[in-house]
Amino acid sequence: MDKRLERILPKVQKPARYTGGEYNQILKDKSAVNLRVAFCFPDTYEIGMSNLGMKILYQTMNSLPYVWCERVFAPWSDMYDLMKEQGVPLYALESGDGLDRFDVLAFSVGYEMAYTTVLDMLDMAGLPVRSRDRQELLPLVFMGGSAGVNPEPMAPFMDLFVIGEGEEMNNELLALLHQAKEEGWSKQRFLAAAVQIEGVYVPSLYDISYGEDGTVSAITPLKGAPQQVKKRIIQDLDSVPFPTNPIVPSTEVVQDRVNLELFRGCVRGCRFCQAGYIYRPIRSKKPETLIRQGIETLRNTGYEDITLLSLSSSDYRSLGMVCDGLLEFCEPRSIGVSLPSLRADNFSMELMEKLQRVRKSGLTFAVEGGSQRLRDAINKNVTEEDLLNTCRIAFEGGWNTVKLYYMLGLPTETDEDIVGIAEMADRVLHCWRTYSTAKSRGVRITISTSCFIPKPHSPFQWEAQIAPEEYLRRVNLLRASIKAKNVVYNWHDAETSFIEAALSRGDRKVADVVEAVWRKGGRLEAWSDFFSYERWLSSFSEFGLDPAFYASRERSVDEVLPWDMIHVGVRKQHLIHERAMAYSAALSPDCRHACSACGAASLLQGRKCDE
């Protein structure tokens, strides 16, 4: 270990974040590999080590014999200050080497508020933050993750983006870079070849034009780049590696358990949900694969909990079979099995009994809208009867904690919809009083709201976000409407949501704002401890830009959108149709009952969705 680190670590919180040496980490001989990859997560160790995607890609990239992929996380403020003071560069956990010794910096970014931390990590690595200022082929800097479906606010900083699922795409890219390094290619030659890999977007090969009104007027590909970059998907989830021997953190992390992915995509089609569209088409793992992978991972890690993950886990067709197979192993060993992302319309007593056989956790349901009309408008396909029936089953089974999530500011929302959230909480409380078998323990009903953010590649991508002041008015209306002491109300702050919306729908000009915020000290902006609304507003103003132009402006369906060069598989005409259905409060069937012809099935080769 670097002597400077030995002096620093006793002075910081949770020094185990920064030491590496965890069980199951991958170590290689530096002299035996050709490419060293720094896999960078622009948040703290506790957040990054909870990310299943990072665990999967860490293993797949390390499966290449000529690649050593190591992990890099953003330091907390105490460690950051001491590293700056002592001149310690950002380093990788496995080797302890500074990032100046690496050939690739690969960033996984799932949240727009992490953008400034990406720049900060590049700076701590000793690199210029702008791609144009990094003339040599190496180090190559690229970004993947769900935030990349609108790559433009980060386009000037990245050499390229990987759009979609990376298990195969990343390795194809690294294979090309391996060849380029061996043969002495220029950076320009490599990027011209890389853009031919399906799913790779190279910003420097696209010219962006703007109209007098500030909107994008044209996106022009250059030098053989495709008109649209089609996202990459994994055709068969059973066929790709899954990390059954993941790294076991040496300190507590957010998701301190085994996470098992049931399927990708979602059958539901909620119109506000970006993830439900960008992860299409639906592809499931076989139950026998899941049971084997879950048990192997538990054996290899010693975890005492396993969580079954997906966007809507209770929609997995063979869920009962998987629970039975896992519980046969877990129950005798007191290993808990949990199932987040539950749906209020398919929760059953049988499922409840399976989940509580080891230990009982709280129940969480995303209701989203405060009236049936609004839930129909967003295509939530959940009724009040569904929710109350689910609560009755849970209360009869001894549960006494229920969390209900909603969004404020959804298109077509009225004050009556907001008051309806409080009325629903009262009915859930009445349900507990009527059916609870454990009244002596009381009940806790938690209502949480966030501000609706119109996201790219969803039917609501053209909508306007309500202003922060209006969001707070609606929060206060809901607060005043909640009368019962057993009901707790939490809400997400409006200012962060406003900036997130501006970034998520931003164009390439917004990159100047991101850099300005970083240069003024912005980092770890996803944390309220570090977020500064004033810093963002002043930086937008510095470049003559208005965040409301991006966040709060309704867009015409004919407008060229900054992310139109990215194709996630869903036809734009389908999104337009679903938006029109929202304003009629009309439901669309879920994918299990009728194909909506969204177009995502075209990404599959000779297969059907969820085949």
Same-domain pairing of 480 and 351: yes
In a domain, 249, yes or no: no
Identify each DSSP E strand in 280-383 by its residue range: 283-284, 305-309, 336-338, 363-368
In a domain, 460, yes or no: yes
Same-domain pairing of 221 and 282: no
Same-domain pairing of 272 and 211: no
Bond from prior residue into 281 cis (ω within 30 degrees of 0): yes
Same-domain pairing of 157 and 269: no
Same-domain pairing of 137 and 72: yes
Output the pTM of the full model. 0.95
Same-domain pairing of 261 and 226: no
In a domain, 609, yes or no: no
In a domain, 33, yes or no: yes
Same-domain pairing of 158 and 215: yes
**CA neighbours within 13 Å on the CB side: how many for 593?**
8
**Radius of gyration of the chain measured on its C-alpha atoms:** 24
- Edge-to-edge strand list for the sheet holding 336-338: 258-261, 305-309, 336-338
Coil, strand or helix at 101? helix
Number of domains in the chain: 2
Choose the final residue of a domain: 193, 215, 230.
230
Q: Rounded to whole angstroms, how far apart are CA atoms 391 and 403? A: 11
Same-domain pairing of 338 and 402: yes
Same-domain pairing of 277 and 181: no
Bond from prior residue into 332 cis (ω within 30 degrees of 0): no
Q: Rounded to whole angstroms, how far apart are CA atoms 135 and 284? A: 43
Choose the final residue of a domain: 184, 215, 230.
230
Find how far residue 558's CA is from the centre of its chain.
28
For residue 346, the model assigns a pLDDT of 66
Name which of 266, 462, 463, 244 is nearest 366 in CA terms: 266
In a domain, 540, yes or no: no
In sequence order, the 6+-apart residues with CB closer than 8 A to the CB of 268 are: 276, 311, 312, 315, 379, 380, 381, 590, 591
Q: Which residue has the tokens 């003339």?
A: 135
Cα three-residue angle 43-46-49, rounded to 5 degrees: 90
Choose the final residue of a domain: 211, 230, 249.
230
CB 310 within 8 A of CB 341: yes
Q: Give me the residues of the chain with pLDDT under 70, please.
A: 1, 341-342, 346-349, 352, 355-361, 611
In a domain, 514, yes or no: no
Give the residue numbers spanning the domain of 212: 3-230
CATH number of the structural domain spanning residue 588 = 3.80.30.20
CB 602 within 8 A of CB 235: no
In a domain, 364, yes or no: yes
End-to-end CA distance of the chain: 50
Coil, strand or helix at 72? strand
Q: Rounded to whole angstroms, how far apart are CA atoms 145 and 524? A: 17
For residue 393, the model assigns a pLDDT of 86
Same-domain pairing of 226 and 281: no
In a domain, 560, yes or no: no
Name which of 203, 248, 194 is nearest 222 in CA terms: 203
Name which of 148, 159, 157 is nearest 121 in CA terms: 157
Same-domain pairing of 265 and 221: no
For residue 360, the model assigns a pLDDT of 64
Identify each DSSP E strand in 65-148 by its residue range: 67-73, 104-108, 140-144
Same-domain pairing of 265 and 215: no
CATH number of the structural domain spanning residue 20 = 3.40.50.280
Q: Rounded to whole angstroms, how far apart are CA atoms 475 and 497? A: 14
